[in-house]
Amino acid sequence: MTIGIGSGTTVYWFIRGLGERVMQGLEIKAVPTSEQTATLAKESGIAISDLDETDKLVLTIDGADEIDADGNLVKGGGGALLQEKIVAAASEQLIIIADDSKLVKKLGRFPLPVEVIPFGYQQVQRKILESLPCKGVQLRKKDERAFVTDHDHYILDCEFQKIEDVAALNISLHLIPGVVETGLFPRMANKAIIGFEDGKVEVINYR
């Protein structure tokens, strides 16, 4: 089968484990959600496929920065939210792997990443602050320069603290010209596999 593979620290270990299975004879292809994931998958011996060349993704396995009780997610801490959402939307199932610190009652504690085009990004900052219940917006930086995504965009990290209506906020952000994508994944997760410090694993089914 062909599956989607997400990005991030937890997914790193999944890719390594999947690579070991491939070495043992497992036949599988992967659509990566970032250049970093693609590189790691190739190093692990996993065949890479392009989404446009794929008829169907049975499932995508990815991490998350926050997960609420309804399976709503905040993603994008690693900066790959655009491709992660495209791949997740093309999949029959989205399975999240994470540790228990990512479980929250309401999203918002983790700053919400919003991907924007570089042109006029400060106008987008102002619009978010003026029109939405946002406490602060910061341009993400790396090595004192603006962080640039795989698709040559910027990321604004938005302090909402508590998000009451995930779907409504996602729509409101998309209505601001210059916004490419948000790190909100409203009710997109089908299942979460949660690991705990004591070694316990819990599977949560959302839909």
Catalytic residue ranges = 84
Among the listed residues 22, 18, 57, the one whose alpha carbon sits nearest the alpha carbon of residue 37: 18
The structure tokens listed for 73 are: 């997610």
Widest CA span in the chain: 55
Task: Please say whether the beta carbons of 191 and 78 come within 8 A.
Answer: no
* Cα separation values, 68 from 19, 65, 72, 123, Å: 30, 10, 6, 31
The structure tokens listed for 191 are: 């299942």
